[in-house]
Chain A
Amino acid sequence: MESLPEKIIERIQKEDIKPSPRWVFTAREVLLWCLVALCLIFAAIILVTDIYFLRDIGIDILPEAYPAVWRNIIIPISSAWLLIVLATLLAVYIYYTRTEGGYRSRRRVVLPLSASIVILLGLLLHATGYGRLSHDYARSYVPAYRAWHEETKRAYWMHPEAGLLTGTFLTNPSGTSLVLIDEIGRQWNIRFASDTIWEGGVNSATGDPVRLIGTEDGPGFFVARIVRPFTTTASSQ
């Protein structure tokens, strides 16, 4: 009776089975490490785009001052971004554990370490101004991103009762006031104080949309403390 080694050798020779070449395994390993690196970079880009997104819609307006806006708009947006980052970190973990020695590391080590790399890389990209680039790229090429961004921004800024208003100037400034039409077509008489700040080179004569920070002063009246362009430009950053 044929022994198992004999059977195996016979089958190998009969079916002309060959060991897969070493480069196949090396390529697989390289591919996995590339996927790990790409996922980390992608998560960092998502993070830095989120930071830019939040800054662009006006995160510098203190959430303590407008808790409802913070609760209803900012937290859901940040959660959505965070979910994408977490899903990417999960992909990092999955690819990493499939590398040669990846299975030896525990999840509770790999995930926090990956998150730390993403945060550090994100901060580095943020410091180099990459957030604006990725945000502009997403506005141009990611479906629905532009609409989502603008709708979110309008939702955030259409709270005159909370001191946030957005719209377009209808008339040129006449000394200390002008007329603005908001996003739902209401007209507002906007008054300015001597110390009102005009940010980012806002030109009321061009009819560009603007954002105002100030105080509602009765129905249809608003006192502006800060005037910002609706679309942030590089020079206004």
Chain B
Amino acid sequence: MNEPQINRQDAELVRAAIQDPREYGTLVARFAAPLSRYVVRLAGLSHDDVQDVLQEVFIKIYRNLNSYNPEMPLSSWVYRIAHNETISHLRKNTARPTISMDSEEGESIAATLRSELDLSKETDEKFIAERIQEVVQSLPEKYREVIVLRYFEDKDYQEISDILKKPPGTVATLLSRAKEKLKKSVAENPAFRSA
């Protein structure tokens, strides 16, 4: 993957959107689906709430187009705004998020987490996928967000650092602690013990 080229394309996309609002539709179309999934995963909102949050996210992105720094991938910058807006929405509504994923991606995440968390090979991936959602949603926000970004959104440390505006070292520490907590929660969860 040639990152500088991607950033140049990102910069051109942003420049075009600044010059003509209709061009902004291309940017919205590119990020609508991933951001919609991310908002759902992070906040567990209803379809209508997600649409409301996304509208605010894209309006905010539009207002801040001139602050985009092409040294950073556009997706990280867009995710950062979506993250902040979602957390802000979540705090206003104090709702406990519900992580949701379809069965196919759930099994894929379960396969990754199985090796990361040293889960028994006998444990059924589908079973892990179902249970892992409730374990992740029980984590404190600072751990939940890194788990969602790393395993559900497949972001690397640098991207997570850019999205959360935290040093990469801190992201690594948070992720390591989050995995520990996840492992502990899995071990304490009766559903996993009985599996």
- The residue that A11 contacts in the complex, of B55, B64, B69, with Cβ under 8 A, is B55
Minimal beta-carbon separation of B49 from chain A (angstroms):
14
Chain A residue numbers with a CB within 8 Å of B63 are 17-20
Q: Are B167 and A22 in contact (CB under 8 A)?
A: no
Q: How far is the CA of A81 from the CA of B32 in the complex (A)?
A: 53
Instruction: State whether the Cβ of A5 lies closer than 8 Å to any Cβ in chain B.
Output: yes
B18 contacts the other chain (CB 8 A): yes
Q: CB distance A11 to B166 under 8 Å?
A: no
**Within the complex, which residue of A8, A18, A24, A100 is in contact with B58, where a contact is CB–CB below 8 Å?**
A8
- B32: nearest residue on chain A (CB-CB)? A4
Contacts A5-B32, A7-B55, A8-B24; A106 near B65 (Cβ below 8 A): no
**A interface, over-half SS:** helix
Inter-chain contacts of A104 with B (CB < 8 A) = 161, 167-168
In the complex, chain A residues 5-53 whose Cβ is within 8 Å of any chain B Cβ: 5-9, 11-13, 17-22, 24-25
A12 touches B24 (CB 8 A): yes
Given contacts A4-B28, A7-B55, contact A25 B21 (CB under 8 A): no
Instruction: State A21–B66 Cα separation when bound (angstroms).
Output: 6
Query: A4 CB to closest chain B CB, in angstroms?
Result: 5
Asked if residues B167 and A9 are in contact (CB atoms below 8 Å), the reply is no
Check if A103 sits within 8 Å of B65, measured CB to CB: no
Residues of B within 8 A of A106 (CB): 167, 169-170
* A105 interface residue per 8 A CB criterion: yes
Rounded to whole Å, the gap between the CB of A11 and the closest CB of chain B is: 7
B1 within 8 A of partner (CB): no
Are the CB atoms of B18 and A19 closer together than 8 Å?
Answer: yes
- The listed residue with most B CB atoms (<10 A of its CB), out of A5, A9, A97, A103, is A5
List the A side residues contacting B69 at CB < 8 Å: 100
Contact with A along B53-84 (1 / 0, CB 8 A): 01100110011111101000000000000000
Which residues of chain A are near B59, meaning CB under 8 Å? 8, 11-12, 17
Report the separation of the CA atoms of residues A19 and B60 in the bound assembly, to the nearest whole angstrom: 9
Q: How far is the CB of B16 from chain A (nearest CB, A)?
A: 12
A12-B59, A19-B63 known; A5+B167 contact, CB < 8 A:
no
On whether A105 and B21 interact (CB within 8 A), knowing A4-B51, A20-B66, the answer reads: no
Contact partner, B21, options A3, A12, A21, Cβ 8 Å: A12
Question: A22 to chain B: which residues have CB within 8 Å?
Answer: 66-67
Chain A: minimal CB distance from B17 (Å): 8
Contact B167 A4 (CB under 8 A): no
Query: Which residues of the partner chain A approach B51 to less than 8 Å between Cβ atoms?
Result: 4
Complex CA–CA separation, A12 to B65 (angstroms): 13
Are the C-beta atoms of B66 and A8 separated by less than 8 Å?
Answer: no
Residues of B within 8 A of A13 (CB): 21
Task: Please give, as numbers and ranges, the residues of chain A lying within 8 Å of B168 by CB-CB distance.
Answer: 104
Chain A residues near B54: list those with CB within 8 A: 4
Give the shortest distance, in Å, between A45 (CB) and chain B (any CB).
30
Besides the contacts A3-B29, A22-B66, A103-B161, what 8 more A-B pairs have beta carbons closer than 8 Å? A8-B24, A8-B25, A8-B58, A12-B59, A20-B67, A24-B66, A100-B69, A106-B169
- Between A and B, 5 residue pairs with Cβ closer than 8 Å are A5-B26, A8-B25, A12-B24, A19-B63, A20-B63
Top 8 closest pairs, chain A to chain B, by CB: A103-B165, A5-B25, A5-B28, A25-B67, A22-B66, A19-B65, A106-B167, A8-B58
